[in-house]
A and B are shown apart, each in its own frame.
Chain A
């Protein structure tokens, strides 16, 4: 690990100031000399590996705003403070009752110990686990722009089949983000120019030619809250995660599904796919394929085909296409059959 200085500001303004002080124009937050730390489960790991080399760590855990640690639920929405721990959000009674998808996406992630540490703000910004990104001796455009992509023709079993570019095919591994994008969530951000709200679907950027720029955030932007609107689809929702072992593994494929049903017919479907794409992935075409349809195996398969129509496999990850499809089919049928 490289030496760094550590700061623990007491309010959001001071934290923004601490980061903007070292911010450089055109340098994305992940490469900025100053970086925020929430639970540190992602950042500290990458600092030890030399992947992240911040000069200054700005710890958000001293911030005095109580809203950062609160979960508020009313009939219209759930608002999560950004410093809420994954485990607290997953265990929250109202969250579990009103929107099982959100709670399940959290409880199926990582391990109990990590969930106790990790914050929701840090969670949505977690960086890829691409093996070649994690080890600094490999060529990696995300870590070192222009150096190449060792994964492209290397060992790429866990890599993305959707949303990749010639520069990068790293999977976005988070689970919670799939729930958020499916449910049209948004994030509240405080930055150098005050507060703003960003649709969750706009937060992450496709790798394109600049895989090192992962989000639309600036280097001094702090996520302070995450808002999840509730609606007729929220109760009939679930997260299905398929992985190599029963627990403590990232998704090979996952599906976040929320359905508003009129008897057996789909009035409205919300679908996102994890483990298969470079960013949180809303499957709009699959949703459209289900509109007004009776949800049976056939309709579910048609939706799954639509979801993966643009998938591009590499040498070792081609199985994610059939697996992603069956995961979605199973998730749709299981969500349909939920007793709400």
Chain B
């Protein structure tokens, strides 16, 4: 055991190394654009340089003249395929080449296909468009931006939650705050660039693309191309950085598939870093107003949260984090309202904890302000408002270990050594500040299928169309199978990332570990049942023992009395070489359609706020120390401690890694990341990793993760809550709290930068 591989506590699995760790660090893991396709042609996109208007004329002659150019697909050229659909699998309803209308900056206007990447790129740069340009609306404050209530506009957001009489309670409260907060636009910048490789064999299409939803994409791509989903296969063996960016399919995939059909060769299109800002999804900017009232003892009586989010003109993308913030504490009364603001922008999409990151940032920053207003310790303030039931529907929490998280994190951090007076802690020329905040993420689970094969030599193969997006799901699936079948993990191989495998839900919403492990558990138990039945049957090696008392240990079937039989002997008695079981897992409360929807790529989510019996969340508490130079005001984060409780932890190593990565991204949200928009032109300005800042190694010092034991068998059969998105919720608010403590400046608009703190 070491820091990277924490010793498991109660209800935690061993910190086994990732099964694909060596492949990844040696560059052997085959990412989709690495796949060596024979006779491949290269596709390069050309994108719009205006955000609103239409294409009057597209000049392709110079591009066509570049030696090696095979084909150019441009606006109006894709009549044979259907437009994309906006929803869970489709990023946007904008079919960029379906007409000449321009909806946003960086919209695809053509795809050039050539023998070489260089020729395609050169040609794409030579394409000129004449536009009929209209004045675009860039964001919230732009002329022409259209605001509407979010509830009911999209299946993603059903209602504005409320409870009690907020107005009266707020009016009557002894202590109140009424503040505005905002979070900036953020773009996905995975090191693995976005790409599509499409190849046809007759009417069979195979697409290699980094993807978090192979089943959903198969169905949606087939729909756009007007072919049978059975003829489409999506392969995505490894994904380098997903976080939602590879969840919904973008318009590019079908266009590249069409190009491959037209040129009669495989086509590979890798999107440049700059172009990914306009052609992929992103986290849109949000605004918040929070009103909170409390009595002098710190008991909250009123909580009001209004949110505004930017989206594209045609699509009602919304995250609506009020359903979580509205249930966080024991508020008394709650009033929420979410609006979406349509501007001339590409359609936003999921980014790690899409609703919670911006909404909980606002809530937790407000909680800190309220604690200051009350003269209370911020941890104590949260303790006073710890709920027994969620305030909206009065349902219990399936489990809630928030205060335990606070206690353990505060202890490890040394919170008691904090001097609460603002600006009181100093180290030479550096102002020191300490702050904290809550992390919350809904614990959901979805239907999932898996196939397990056990052979007489004790080898296990697990097949499941989930996705290794870096979370370690391959490893925990192997662990689950190894544990149930009592074989060494080295004997387990896991196949994922292929729509030809048993379907799994989209790898989003932190559901993968829970859903995949529940299906693997079910399949493994079916394999066990077959083995057990054979072992005790007439002529079986354990015949005469009772079936119900059997277990597996060390590659053997073991009976209650201690008698055991090697797997190989059981197989011998069965006269077969392999047992293969296909299991379909559907969570408690699933509708009759649940499995059908899984195969159709539209899985139902259960848990979180969806269930009747209880609400299900994972919680955490994060503590941060910041240092701010008294002259030049640069902000540094020497240490951060987070304690998290998330039900069963399958593997303490991968869990720690997820949470640590989340907190690091949280630091980035707080201090670094923002896409800058030229407000006049509604265009992104800083479209590369030089100007789009994320922390580098030197920015990240000590990051401590504490895994708090928690048992919750109500969430799903595996008892797993999922924690992929928990770590980055709350971090930015904890940093804002620490910055306030150091300087007395309350920064409500992210990111917090030097210019906000200069005196």
Contact = CB atoms under 8 A, between A and B. Distances in A.
Interface of A: 1-3, 50, 129, 131-132, 134-135, 137, 150, 153-155, 157-158, 242-249, 252-253, 319, 322-323, 326-327, 329-330
B610 interface: no
Given A131-B685, A319-B758, A155 B678 contact: yes
Contacts of A153: 680
B696 A244 contact: no
Given A244-B672, A245-B699, A3 B632 contact: no
Interface size band for B: 35 or more
B726 to A, nearest CB: 25
Contacts of A137: 49
A155 B455 CA distance: 63
Contacts of B693: 244-245, 249
Q: Choose among B49, B121, B631, B686 the residue with the greatest number of A CB atoms under 10 Å from its CB.
A: B631
Contacts of A134: 688
Nearest to A297: B631
Interface string B90-125: 000000000000000000000000000010011001
Interface string B524-553: 000000000000000000000000000000
Given A323-B633, A330-B632, 9 more contacts: A135-B687, A153-B680, A245-B695, A245-B696, A246-B636, A249-B693, A319-B754, A319-B758, A330-B429
B136 to A, nearest CB: 14
B146 interface: no
B82 interface: no
Contacts of A330: 429, 629, 631-632
A242 B757 CA distance: 14
B699 A246 contact: yes
A322 B758 contact: yes
Contacts of B429: 330
B633 A247 contact: no
A242 B632 contact: yes
A129 to B, nearest CB: 7
20 contacts: A1-B121, A1-B122, A2-B122, A3-B118, A134-B688, A150-B678, A153-B680, A154-B678, A155-B676, A155-B678, A242-B754, A244-B754, A246-B698, A247-B696, A253-B632, A319-B755, A323-B632, A327-B631, A330-B429, A330-B629
A20 to B, nearest CB: 28
B691 interface: yes
A283 B411 CA distance: 50
Interface in B676-710: 676-678, 680, 685-688, 690-691, 693, 695-699
Given A153-B680, A319-B758, A330-B632, A135 B274 contact: yes
B634 interface: yes
A131 B691 contact: yes
A135 B125 CA distance: 12
A248 B631 contact: no
B751 to A, nearest CB: 9
Interface string B638-674: 0000000000000000000000000000000001100
Nearest to B691: A131
B753 interface: yes
Given A244-B672, A244-B754, A248-B696, A132 B685 contact: yes
Contacts of B678: 150, 154-155
Contacts of A247: 696-699
A322 B636 CA distance: 20
* Across the A-B interface, the 9 shortest Cβ-Cβ residue pairs: A319-B755, A246-B698, A137-B49, A247-B698, A330-B631, A326-B631, A155-B685, A155-B676, A242-B632
A327 B633 CA distance: 10
Nearest to A327: B632
